[in-house]
Chains A and B, each alone.
Chain A
Amino acid sequence: MRTSPSLLSLTIDSALLNLSNIADLSPLPDHIVLDLFLLPARTRYFLSSRHSTFESQLPLSFLPDVLRNSEIVLISETCTSLDYRVAISCFSEALYFGIELLFVFGKMSLAIRDDEIDIIIGAIRSDLTSFMNEWRPMFSRFHLIIVKDPDLKEELKIPEGFNLDVYEKSDIDRVVGSSTSVLFSGYACRYFGYLVSRKKYIISVDDDCLPARDPKGFVVDAVAQHITNLTTPATPFFFNTLYDPFTEGADFVRGYPFSLRSGVKCALSCGLWLNMADHDAPTQALKARQRNSRYVDAVMTVPAGSLVPISGINIAFDREVVGPALVPALKLAGEGKFRWETMEDIWSGLCVKVVCDHLGLGVKTGLPYVWRTDRGDPIASLKKEWEGVKLMEEVVPFFQSVRLPREATTVEDCVVEVAKAAKERLGSTDPVFARAAKAMLDWVNLWKSVGSISSSPAV
């Protein structure tokens, strides 16, 4: 509140009258800018682009009443942020009626602390030395959980200098009991890490993946990119042709409804792979020399209602929001130690997507890339195991037809419903599905008892 005018206040009053002539407000200190606009009963609005980018993630209800009724609309990095939609609607109306409007946009950054992140690695191979050393610049800040495949006999070799916890078969048996520990063999061992983690964000890459380089030659920080994906909104209800509108240099295009521009929470981030892309064995066998060299510089939201094969090779997720939905369920009869011989991640990903669609959460795909090393022989895998490829013909139509009831409002409830539906509709087709359905129920129970951070009810 001001009493008698000071030199400063008189200057501000005068500046306000001429503000439309000032193109650039950035030299002004923040507290002056605030002073300019929190003064009540101002009747002029001014257009300015103080910053070239902005992020607004708080809903309209955050706008204090006094500001709502005043004639100034303020969006500032030091103040409460307004819904972009509201800002634009105020702007449009004001302009329509011949009033100029002021916006001061700031970036609202969601600062994620390092201790909110767990990096979880399923060790399918025993010697993780080069893997860990290559990822050291990106991993060393964070806590790691390494889960050793219970079938692996050799001792794990892990280099020094990391803050980590290692879990082996004996730990798994101890925590979940030897009857349910079967859930966590092979690639699914990492799910044990998901279970016991106490962090909000989890990032997981296969142990045969290394950091990739972008077309300019810079090493891609996959961890940072995944976190960016998870902490910016997803936009599943309408497709943005410029892909992720929250990334630097992009935005929503003309024709994108304003009411959908605040987006929804992103629950899962699926990255991609250079070199060995995640093809199935028949495809890789057919195109033996094909390597993925195309770096697609985009992140996008997979639209609601659209299912997608989510590869487990390079993913990240918000454990608090969607943890129980990543299910170690589909175990092929001949499941092996190469990705070509598994489908557990695909089943898990379809489950997550169905649950996210039901609860209004987002799933993003695209960046970051990792470099997946050549390993294994697709023809050998194909001869041994192509059950997975056949099963997808049943699995995909099943998930496409799943309808979750309105009463399922938590992730656990949703997973139970999917399990029930799987048992009913697929159980008799192949015993692998009946086992998957049971595994999902076991997983939910484990989550409730062991995964002590229960997921919050859906928004």
Chain B
Amino acid sequence: MVEPATATQAAAPAVAQLKDELDIVIPTIRNLDFLEMWRPFFQPYHLIIVQDGDPSKTIKVPDGFDYELYNRNDINRILGPKASCISFKDSACRCFGYMVSKKKYIFTIDDDCFVAKDPSGKAINALEQHIKNLLSPSTPFFFNTLYDPYREGADFVRGYPFSLREGVPTAVSHGLWLNIPDYDAPTQLVKPLERNTRFVDAVLTIPKGTLFPMCGMNLAFDRELIGPAMYFGLMGDGQPIGRYDDMWAGWCMKVICDHLGLGVKTGLPYIYHSKASNPFVNLRKEYKGIYWQEEIIPFFQQAVLPKECTSVQKCYIELAKQVKEKLSKVDPYFDKLAEAMVTWIEAWDELNPTAAAVPDGKAK
């Protein structure tokens, strides 16, 4: 049986890396008690809390954390009519946090995720590992069988061309979960007792041209490199679909990263996912997505971005165009989504005026 680390085991690191360059974005509707567990690792950092659901409720934040909190009223006030692109009654609203942040890096985590233990029993500082992942290069052009070659104790294997050993900048670090795995509703219903107890001690780059299901529970990214692509879509209240927010962002993000020559890593760190959501509720939310993803995946696999798309925003607007062209025949929802994608970019540029000055990526 896998267990979370207890508060006393979690020891604060000697140096909180990037503490002025990283924001922690947390969506929540209930409370933030889980932060107590993370205190030694998170306290040096600034938090952006995005309160979903009823804005009249007060979310209690444990003492000692430096944070800003946004509820639906704030989102409406700040974005005006553009607030329509931010989901309501769904954790997808977290992407508002990405938009208002002024930092270079974002780490986002769900409020039912706790500190995990590695096989030796030591508490895992997930944030520290994400930072390591983001600060070291990725290797998307050739698969290294010893996984991340920049990790201590590892390296490139025989046969790996030296010209590819410099790697590319890492845009996204995708962490995993012990205990309750991120299964979809049908799998949850069939295997309600399955727990992820396997600690796989690896970080690896997802190769160029390969898509993957990106989970938003334990995720970090370089906002300057890829921020505008991390739109979590239209989910929740008034929408025909839920629990596909992070998936959608992940597919858009990967296509753009592949186009711009940026890297995406997955693997460590692990967090301890404590709460299994209701699979029947999940099924109702996911039901359409399960069918739509059969169309969506080939769309992303075949998506080609023109050479002129040299910035994330340009890539994203182009993707929105293609979504409208090719996916609206699946369901009118995609029309709305494509428009929301454009609104998102407009809102992003409005709130981040210097973003236009971000050096254009090299398009492939």
Give chain A's interface residues, CB within 8 Å of chain B. 47, 49, 52-54, 88-89, 91-92, 95-96, 103, 105, 215, 238-243, 249-260, 270, 272, 277-280, 283, 287, 290, 292-298, 302-311, 339-340, 343, 346, 349, 365, 389, 392-393, 395-396
Q: Note all chain B residues with C-beta closer than 8 A to A105.
A: 190
Question: Cα distance A309–B191 when bound, in Å?
Answer: 36
Instruction: List 9 A–B pairs whose Cβ atoms lie within 8 Å, in order of A's numbering.
Output: A54-B190, A88-B186, A105-B190, A238-B210, A239-B212, A278-B158, A296-B201, A310-B159, A339-B158
User: CB < 8 Å: which of B158, B199, B247 contacts A280?
Assistant: B158
- Structural contact, A306 and B208, CB atoms closer than 8 A: yes
Query: How far apart are B298's CB and chain A's nearest CB, in angstroms?
Result: 9
Q: Note all chain A residues with C-beta closer than 8 A to B244.
A: 255
Question: Cα distance A87–B221 when bound, in Å?
Answer: 37
Query: Can you name 20 extra interface pairs (CB under 8 A) apart from A239-B210, A298-B202?
Result: A241-B182, A249-B195, A251-B194, A253-B184, A272-B145, A277-B146, A278-B145, A278-B157, A280-B156, A280-B157, A293-B153, A294-B202, A298-B200, A309-B144, A309-B157, A309-B159, A311-B145, A346-B159, A365-B143, A392-B162
Q: Note all chain B residues with C-beta closer than 8 A to A241.
A: 174, 176, 182, 212-213, 215, 266
- Structural contact, B211 and A239, CB atoms closer than 8 A: yes
User: CB < 8 Å: which of B159, B208, B212, B286 contacts A392?
Assistant: B159
User: CB < 8 Å: which of B186, B214, B293 contacts A91?
Assistant: B186
Query: How far apart are A293's CB and chain B's nearest CB, in angstroms?
Result: 7
Query: How far apart are A235's CB and chain B's nearest CB, in angstroms?
Result: 11
- Structural contact, A279 and B157, CB atoms closer than 8 A: yes
User: CB < 8 Å: which of B184, B189, B201, B286 contacts A295?
Assistant: B201
Question: Cα distance A307–B211 when bound, in Å?
Answer: 15
Question: Cα distance A396–B160 when bound, in Å?
Answer: 8
Given A215-B119, A250-B198, A255-B250, does the pair A92, B186 have CB atoms closer than 8 Å? yes
Query: How far apart are A294's CB and chain B's nearest CB, in angstroms?
Result: 6
Question: Cα distance A215–B283 when bound, in Å?
Answer: 38
- Structural contact, B190 and A49, CB atoms closer than 8 A: yes
- Structural contact, B210 and A305, CB atoms closer than 8 A: yes
Question: Cα distance A305–B140 when bound, in Å?
Answer: 11
Closest A-chain residue to B159, C-beta based? A309
Question: Cα distance A278–B146 when bound, in Å?
Answer: 9
Question: Cα distance A396–B144 when bound, in Å?
Answer: 13
Given A239-B211, A296-B201, A393-B162, does the pair A279, B155 have CB atoms closer than 8 Å? yes
User: CB < 8 Å: which of A53, A103, A243, A308 contacts B143?
Assistant: A308
Question: Cα distance A53–B195 when bound, in Å?
Answer: 12
User: CB < 8 Å: which of A292, A298, A307 contacts B153?
Assistant: A292
Query: How far apart are B246's CB and chain A's nearest CB, in angstroms?
Result: 8
- Structural contact, B215 and A253, CB atoms closer than 8 A: yes
Q: Note all chain A residues with C-beta closer than 8 A to B243.
A: 254
Q: Note all chain A residues with C-beta closer than 8 A to B195.
A: 249
Question: Cα distance A253–B200 when bound, in Å?
Answer: 16
Q: Note all chain B residues with C-beta closer than 8 A to A305.
A: 207, 209-210
Given A254-B184, A295-B201, A392-B161, does the pair A306, B143 have CB atoms closer than 8 Å? yes
Cβ of B35 within 8 Å of any chain A Cβ, yes or no, is no
- Residues of B269-295 at the interface with A, using a CB-CB cut-off of 8 Å, are 280, 283-284, 286-287, 290, 293-294
Question: Cα distance A242–B215 when bound, in Å?
Answer: 11
Given A251-B194, A253-B181, A280-B159, does the pair A297, B145 have CB atoms closer than 8 Å? no
User: CB < 8 Å: which of A239, A257, A302, A393 contacts B294?
Assistant: A257
User: CB < 8 Å: which of A103, A249, A255, A349 contacts B247?
Assistant: A255
Question: Cα distance A242–B286 when bound, in Å?
Answer: 20
Question: Cα distance A287–B153 when bound, in Å?
Answer: 10
Cβ of B67 within 8 Å of any chain A Cβ, yes or no, is no
- Structural contact, B153 and A294, CB atoms closer than 8 A: yes
- Structural contact, B294 and A91, CB atoms closer than 8 A: no
User: CB < 8 Å: which of A89, A277, A290, A297 contacts B199?
Assistant: A297
Question: Cα distance A241–B202 when bound, in Å?
Answer: 12
- Structural contact, B145 and A270, CB atoms closer than 8 A: yes
Query: How far apart are B285's CB and chain A's nearest CB, in angstroms?
Result: 11
Q: Note all chain B residues with C-beta closer than 8 A to A256.
A: 184, 213
Question: Cα distance A331–B146 when bound, in Å?
Answer: 25
Interface residues of A, dominant DSSP: loop
Give chain B's interface residues, CB within 8 Å of chain A. 119, 142-147, 153-164, 174, 176, 181-184, 186-187, 189-202, 206-215, 243-244, 246-247, 250, 266, 280, 283-284, 286-287, 290, 293-294, 297
Question: Cα distance A253–B142 when bound, in Å?
Answer: 24
Q: Note all chain A residues with C-beta closer than 8 A to B293.
A: 255, 257-258
> Which of A249, A306, A310 is most buried by chain B, counting CB atoms within 10 A of its CB?
A306
Question: Cα distance A368–B156 when bound, in Å?
Answer: 19
> Which of A92, A241, A287 is most buried by chain B, counting CB atoms within 10 A of its CB?
A241
Query: How far apart are A200's CB and chain B's nearest CB, in angstroms?
Result: 25
User: CB < 8 Å: which of B143, B159, B196 contacts A302?
Assistant: B143
Query: How far apart are A63's CB and chain B's nearest CB, in angstroms?
Result: 18
- Structural contact, A254 and B215, CB atoms closer than 8 A: yes
Q: Note all chain A residues with C-beta closer than 8 A to B183.
A: 251-254
- Structural contact, B142 and A309, CB atoms closer than 8 A: yes
Question: Cα distance A118–B283 when bound, in Å?
Answer: 47
Given A91-B186, A272-B145, does the pair A238, B247 have CB atoms closer than 8 Å? no
User: CB < 8 Å: which of A95, A252, A270, A295 contacts B283?
Assistant: A95
Given A253-B182, A259-B294, does the pair A49, B191 have CB atoms closer than 8 Å? yes
- Structural contact, A309 and B158, CB atoms closer than 8 A: yes
User: CB < 8 Å: which of A254, A259, A292, A304 contacts B146?
Assistant: A292
- Structural contact, A296 and B187, CB atoms closer than 8 A: no
Question: Cα distance A384–B246 when bound, in Å?
Answer: 52
Q: Note all chain A residues with C-beta closer than 8 A to B294.
A: 257-259
Query: How far apart are B100's CB and chain A's nearest CB, in angstroms?
Result: 27
Question: Cα distance A251–B194 when bound, in Å?
Answer: 9
Among all A-B residue pairs, the 5 with the closest Cβ atoms:
A255-B213, A309-B159, A306-B207, A346-B159, A239-B212
Q: Note all chain B residues with C-beta closer than 8 A to A346.
A: 158-159
- Structural contact, B145 and A308, CB atoms closer than 8 A: yes
Given A255-B247, A290-B153, does the pair A272, B146 have CB atoms closer than 8 Å? yes
Closest A-chain residue to B160, C-beta based? A309
User: CB < 8 Å: which of B145, B189, B209 contacts A309?
Assistant: B145
Query: How far apart are A274's CB and chain B's nearest CB, in angstroms?
Result: 11
Question: Cα distance A47–B244 when bound, in Å?
Answer: 25
Query: How far apart are A227's CB and chain B's nearest CB, in angstroms?
Result: 20
User: CB < 8 Å: which of A239, A297, A304 contacts B198?
Assistant: A297
- Structural contact, B174 and A243, CB atoms closer than 8 A: no
> Which of B164, B189, B199, B284 is most buried by chain A, counting CB atoms within 10 A of its CB?
B189
Query: How far apart are A244's CB and chain B's nearest CB, in angstroms?
Result: 10
Closest B-chain residue to A258, C-beta based? B290
- Structural contact, B176 and A287, CB atoms closer than 8 A: no
Closest A-chain residue to B187, C-beta based? A251
Q: Note all chain A residues with C-beta closer than 8 A to B199.
A: 297
- Structural contact, B201 and A307, CB atoms closer than 8 A: no
Closest B-chain residue to A295, C-beta based? B201
Q: Note all chain A residues with C-beta closer than 8 A to B174.
A: 241
Q: Note all chain A residues with C-beta closer than 8 A to B146.
A: 272, 277, 292
Question: Cα distance A253–B246 when bound, in Å?
Answer: 13
- Structural contact, A308 and B142, CB atoms closer than 8 A: yes
Query: How far apart are A10's CB and chain B's nearest CB, in angstroms?
Result: 30
